Structure 1
Amino acid sequence: MADTLPPPRLLPSGDSAITVEFSRTIDDTANRKVLALDRALSAAPIAGITETVPTYRSLLVHYDPLVIDYDALGPQLLVRASGPLALEATTRRWRIPVCYGGENGIDLEDVAKALSTTPDDIAARHAAGRYRVAMIGFTPGWSYLSGLDKFLHMSRRESPRLLTPAGTIAIGGIQTGIQCLAGPSGWHLLGRTPVRTYQLHRQPTFLLEPGDEVTFYAVDIKMFTEQERAAAAGEIIAERIAA
C-alpha cells in the first residue's frame, strides 16, 4: 500500500525533548513507523539521547542538553524518520481470555442498547477482532489496541469513573484496551481479563509490547475465577500463538 502520510515533523517538547510526529490522527501506518524509528535509534543510538517513548503517532525523544542540543539532534532525527525504516519482521501473537458482561463488564448492556443490538453480539464482535498493541501508557501495562470493529466505535463516557477494576477490557472512541491496574477511566467497560499485562515481580514484568498482535476469547465466570487465581500467583495466562 502506498505511503499516504505527510512528511514527519519535529516538535520541541520543553528544553530536553523532541517529538517526531508521523501523523496527526491515529493511524496504523504511522504507528508502525514510530515503532520502527524507536528500534532504529535503539540499534544505532545518537549520543545524547537518554530515552525514547513511542506513542500512537509520534516518538518522544528525550536528550541531555549538555551533550547535544535541539539544533544538532533535530536534523539527525528528521533524516532517520524520513528515510526507509525497517518495519517489524516478526510479530508476537497473544490469545487473551475475557469474561464479558455482568459485574465484570458493567457497561456491556448500555453499549448494546446504544448500538441497537444485544450484549452477546457486542461481546462476539469484540472477541472476533484482531488487534495491534499500538502503545503502552497512562498506567503500567495499559495496552492501547488498534483494529476495533467500526460498528463498536462510540464516544467515551460523558462522566468518567474515578475507579475501574484491574483487568478491565474497554472501548472508547475507535480504540479498545486492556487496563492492567485499577484506576480511573472514561471508557465503556465490556469485561475483564485475568491476564496481568504488568506484574512487578514476574518475569517478564511487562507482557505485551507495542507491535504485538492480540485476539480475545470469551470465558465464563468460573473459568475467569480460576485463571484470576493462577495469574495472581504469577502464571502467564495469555497464550502465545505461533506465527
Structure 2
Amino acid sequence: MAEGSRGTVALFKSSDENALNDDRYLTLLEENNFTVNLVPTLSFEYQTENLRERLQQPYKYSGIILTSPRSAESVNQAMADLLCAWKEMRHYCVGVKTGETAVNLLGLKNLVGQTCGNAENLSSLIVKDFQKGCIPLPLLFPCSSLKLDTLPRTLAEHNVPIDIVNSYVTVPHPHLRDFVMQLSQKKPDYLVFFSPSGVTFSLPYLKEFGLIASVKNISLGNTTAHALEEAKIGVSRICNKPTPEALIIALNSLQIK
C-alpha cells in the first residue's frame, strides 16, 4: 500500500467506458486517498445489419428498450441519424449513464426507467405501462448476445410484445491477460467488478496470477455479485448503484485504515 493511501483499488471496467466516467471514478477515489488501477476488461463488436432494418420501420414499434450504454451505441452505429418518428416515442432504459448516452448519441428525450437500477425493476415498469395500454406495438430490444433472460422472460410472462435483436457481441479485451499480469506486480487490496461478463473473462487470469486470495471483492449490482458467487468467489460488498459515489460508500463501509 502506497504511503498515505487507504489501499489500491482495481477497477475491472469495459474498454468503451467514456473518459469522463473513468475520470469521475479516478477523481473521487483519489480524493478519498485510494490508489486506482483501471483494467480494461471487455470489448464490443457491433452487429448492426438486422438492427438497421428494424430502425428503418419505426411505425412497427412503440419504442426501444436500452439496458446499457452499449445498446444505445449499437443503435447509433446502425443509424447515425435516427428517424424523427423514433424521437417522438416513449423509450425505456436502465441507468442514468444509459439515459445520458441515449440523449447525447440518439437525441431521445422521452426516456423512463433511468432510476430503476436493474432489468427486473425496468421490466416491472414496462409491464405496468403495457397493462395501462401505453404499449400497443412491440418494443425494439437491441442487446448483447450475452444478455440475461430476466427482462425478456418477465415481459413474455405478461404478454408484452418485444422484438429482440442481437446488436453487439461482448468479448474479452485483447490485452486483458497483460493488464492482469501487470496488476500482479503490485497486488491491489480491492477488486471492483462492473459486470458478469467482466467477472467471467477476468477470473481465469486473476487465478493464474494469484490475485484472488487475501483481497476484498466489490460488485456493482446484485447480478455481478451473483456471477462472483457462482464462481465460488466471496463478495465483500455490493454497490446499490453503478456510480463512483456508491463505490466510495462500499469501500468506506469496509472500515479501511
TM-score (normalised: structure 2) = 0.25
Structure whose residues are more often helix by fraction = 2
TM-score by length of 1: 0.26
Richer in strand (by share): 1
